[in-house]
Structure 1
Amino acid sequence: MNPTIKDVAKLANTSKSTVSRYLNGSPVKKETEEALKKAIKELNYHRNENARRLVRSKTQTIGIVVDSITNIFYPSIFRGIEEVAKEKGFNCVFYSMTSNKYKESYFQNLFFEGHVDGIIMISFSKRDKQELVEIAEAGFPAVVFGDSAGIPNIISVDVDNYYGIAELVRYLHRIGHEKIAYISGPEDAAATKCRLAGYLETIGQLGLKVNPSWIVTTDWSNEGGYHAMNQLLADGDFTAVVASNDETAIGALRAFQERGYHVPTNFSITGFDDITLASWVYPSLTTVKQPFMQMGMKAATELFRRMEHGEEYPSERHLLKPELIIRDSCRKISEPIATLK
């Protein structure tokens, strides 16, 4: 029986996809290349005519795979990706993972079947670790946008969620607040853990106490923020609230207003994201701005570098810092309480 790609991969201690990429002329690590040459020679492996027909030609196209077609942040990310792609003479094609059968590993075939030259996978939900392991081991050019599930050998781009919440807590502390509550996000959101850690650890670093009743978990919605705020008002004695996203903060504002409280006279509140509505609500919302377009540009830049250099290009996690946007929803705790006219 003639040796197969599987036999070569086993002898060279690598994956079948890496063997295919090497045979098709894509760059691989030097030590991998040497191991493959040795295995091919030892097995006397020869590609058949059908395999020769599978040699890929460049498509000048990158695939953008998303987990949702309604996420309000994605258009800014897409603009950043497309700006870099156009400079390189590439087109972008969009694919949706809204069906359960379209797992991330499914989209490896987009590359190996010659539809795209590289893929950017965008999701703000927690990712399946095994899916990302398969992607990392497959060796095709890919960048993960959002959660990297702690996989070290995969390129990923995300906002620094920890830093963003820490900035908000430190800002509130600078203007005199010591009793700071927190509205956390849903467990299935990749950012929730990092944002909560940013709150808890910064509170500790500032020497402030964490009151368990000041931490409420909800979904990232106006309604969720509304109910979370009502719960906090029933349980805690605090002066400020850090909401883990803007929509939650806007819902919390509604709860304050319905109970007759004035923001920021009675309470201060901050959000996270800087959605368009954050500057239009009353009072306008202090928040941190996610650099979505810059994140898209970074993801595309990293993808093209991987496409050019192959596995020699280092796999790193790139975190972009959000920007503190100070508006009207917070007041210095030392300021006298204004009288409503």
Structure 2
Amino acid sequence: MNPTIKDVAKLANTSKSTVSRYLNGLPVKKETEEALKKAIKELNYHRNENARRLVRSKTQTIGIVVDSITNIFYPSIFRGIEEVAKEKGFNCVFYSMTSNKYKESYFQNLFFEGHVDGIIMISFSKRDKQELVEIAEAGFPVVVFGDSAGVPNVISVDVDNYYGIAELVRYLHRIGHEKIAYISGPEDAAATKCRLTGYLETIGQLGLEVNPSWIVTTDWSNEGGYHAMNQLLADGDFTAVVASNDETAIGALRAFQERGYHVPTNFSITGFDDITLASWVYPSLTTVKQPFMQMGMKAATELFNRMETGEEYPAKRHLLKPELIIRDSCRKISEPISTLK
């Protein structure tokens, strides 16, 4: 039979309540602590987590639901979540919507069936508003990572996409660019509309020209950026390009180079995300860095606040600011000019 708390207490010459205190992280005398460590090691004791959960009515586990396990940004988000969960003494269990072929609302059953104490749902795709309303009204502890579909009574965490694009446009304007093209993203990505709005409104605030032929849509791939850049070069009357992600910016760089143009001598270009390759391409890419680990930590912190406080914990949308990373893909073409009017 497996050793019990009673066996540990007997070998360490102490009480079961003292063993329980020690196992739950509460302070005990130094000599008692040493005796308990020795007894636990000698007996190879492992406490029964299932019994512990029944007593506490808690699983000490949070569920992380993702739309796809292949997304290159998710590992950094996971590290942030796990760092907070570890501090709280919780485990993380990961669930893939792709492999299970379920909608996000299905995974609320993880809570109601007692598998987890709370859930973080991660997706960069547009969410169905009615489905998110259903999740919000179910009353279980949940934090939505990415699109909140405009649902006010759900806790959500995302990057400030509008701010990131606006920072890039303002930076290009500060170094003298007034004709700035834009490579947009796919329709099903939640960030696409917000980033495009950031571009259009900032261009307008700066009093610059908005030329519809300078806006091209892509699927956010290298190939998409390559074709978008060739399409933009058919017009050619611009000096800089803001690509709405780094993948398209890297594809656009290749299109420039194949046509004999030099970046940043002939054109300046920026990306969005700061993927690893952004600092390794030539020239290295000016971009904005998404704080993925910090976003993961924020999502986990908000989930634990909700779990500890209950349904009265206020729902809020938390937008973390990306950081402008200036590298070698942009050139100053005039003296600095004023920014917002």
TM-score exceeds 0.5: yes
Structure 2: which 5+ runs fail to align? none
- When residues 61 and 258 of structure 1 are mapped into structure 2, their CA distance, relative to the original with a 3 A threshold, is same
Displacement of 1:57 in angstroms is 1.6
Tell whether the 8 Å contact from 1:245 to 1:271 is kept in structure 2 after alignment: yes
1:71-116: per-residue Cα shift (whole Å, max 9, x none)? Answer: 0000000000000000000000000000574111110110000000
Q: Secondary structure at the match of 1:229?
A: helix
Q: Which has the larger radius of gyration?
A: 2
- When residues 226 and 20 of structure 1 are mapped into structure 2, their CA distance, relative to the original with a 3 A threshold, is farther
Tell whether the 8 Å contact from 1:24 to 1:55 is kept in structure 2 after alignment: no
Match of 1:183 in 2: 183
Moved more, 288-297 or 10-19: 10-19
Tell whether the 8 Å contact from 2:53 to 2:59 is kept in structure 1 after alignment: no
Match of 2:48 in 1: 48
Q: Secondary structure at the match of 1:312?
A: coil
Q: Which runs of 4+ in 1 moved over 3 A?
A: 1-56, 335-341
Tell whether the 8 Å contact from 1:27 to 1:310 is kept in structure 2 after alignment: no
Tell whether the 8 Å contact from 1:165 to 1:244 is kept in structure 2 after alignment: yes
Tell whether the 8 Å contact from 1:265 to 1:337 is kept in structure 2 after alignment: no
Match of 2:29 in 1: 29
Query: What is the TM-score with the length of structure 1 in the denominator?
Result: 0.82
Q: Secondary structure at the match of 1:311?
A: coil
- When residues 140 and 336 of structure 1 are mapped into structure 2, their CA distance, relative to the original with a 3 A threshold, is closer
| 2: CA distance, partners of 1:260 / 1:189 | 33
Displacement of 1:130 in angstroms is 1.2
Structure 1: which 5+ runs fail to align? none
| 2: CA distance, partners of 1:97 / 1:138 | 19
- When residues 248 and 53 of structure 1 are mapped into structure 2, their CA distance, relative to the original with a 3 A threshold, is closer
1:25-48: per-residue Cα shift (whole Å, max 9, x none)? Answer: 999999999999999999999999
Corresponding residue pairs, total: 341
1:114-166: per-residue Cα shift (whole Å, max 9, x none)? Answer: 00000000000001111101100000000000000000000000000000000
| 1: CA distance, partners of 2:314 / 2:8 | 25
1:209-258: per-residue Cα shift (whole Å, max 9, x none)? Answer: 10000000011100000000000000240000000000000000000000
Query: What is the TM-score with the length of structure 2 in the denominator?
Result: 0.82
| 2: CA distance, partners of 1:14 / 1:151 | 55
- When residues 338 and 30 of structure 1 are mapped into structure 2, their CA distance, relative to the original with a 3 A threshold, is closer
- When residues 332 and 303 of structure 1 are mapped into structure 2, their CA distance, relative to the original with a 3 A threshold, is same
Tell whether the 8 Å contact from 1:222 to 1:252 is kept in structure 2 after alignment: yes
- When residues 334 and 310 of structure 1 are mapped into structure 2, their CA distance, relative to the original with a 3 A threshold, is same
Q: Secondary structure at the match of 1:332?
A: coil
Moved more, 28-37 or 216-225: 28-37
- When residues 14 and 223 of structure 1 are mapped into structure 2, their CA distance, relative to the original with a 3 A threshold, is farther
- When residues 339 and 210 of structure 1 are mapped into structure 2, their CA distance, relative to the original with a 3 A threshold, is closer
Match of 1:57 in 2: 57
- When residues 277 and 312 of structure 1 are mapped into structure 2, their CA distance, relative to the original with a 3 A threshold, is same
Displacement of 1:20 in angstroms is 31
| 1: CA distance, partners of 2:102 / 2:95 | 10
Alignment RMSD: 12.9
- When residues 21 and 247 of structure 1 are mapped into structure 2, their CA distance, relative to the original with a 3 A threshold, is farther
Displacement of 1:14 in angstroms is 50
Tell whether the 8 Å contact from 1:65 to 1:119 is kept in structure 2 after alignment: yes
- When residues 262 and 55 of structure 1 are mapped into structure 2, their CA distance, relative to the original with a 3 A threshold, is same
| 2: CA distance, partners of 1:79 / 1:340 | 37
Matched, 1:339 2:339: yes
1:48-82: per-residue Cα shift (whole Å, max 9, x none)? Answer: 99999999820000000000010000000000000
Tell whether the 8 Å contact from 1:120 to 1:144 is kept in structure 2 after alignment: yes
- When residues 259 and 49 of structure 1 are mapped into structure 2, their CA distance, relative to the original with a 3 A threshold, is closer
- When residues 86 and 236 of structure 1 are mapped into structure 2, their CA distance, relative to the original with a 3 A threshold, is same
Tell whether the 8 Å contact from 1:216 to 1:228 is kept in structure 2 after alignment: yes
Tell whether the 8 Å contact from 2:183 to 2:218 is kept in structure 1 after alignment: yes
- When residues 64 and 262 of structure 1 are mapped into structure 2, their CA distance, relative to the original with a 3 A threshold, is same
- When residues 299 and 256 of structure 1 are mapped into structure 2, their CA distance, relative to the original with a 3 A threshold, is same
Tell whether the 8 Å contact from 2:173 to 2:339 is kept in structure 1 after alignment: no
| 1: CA distance, partners of 2:163 / 2:17 | 37
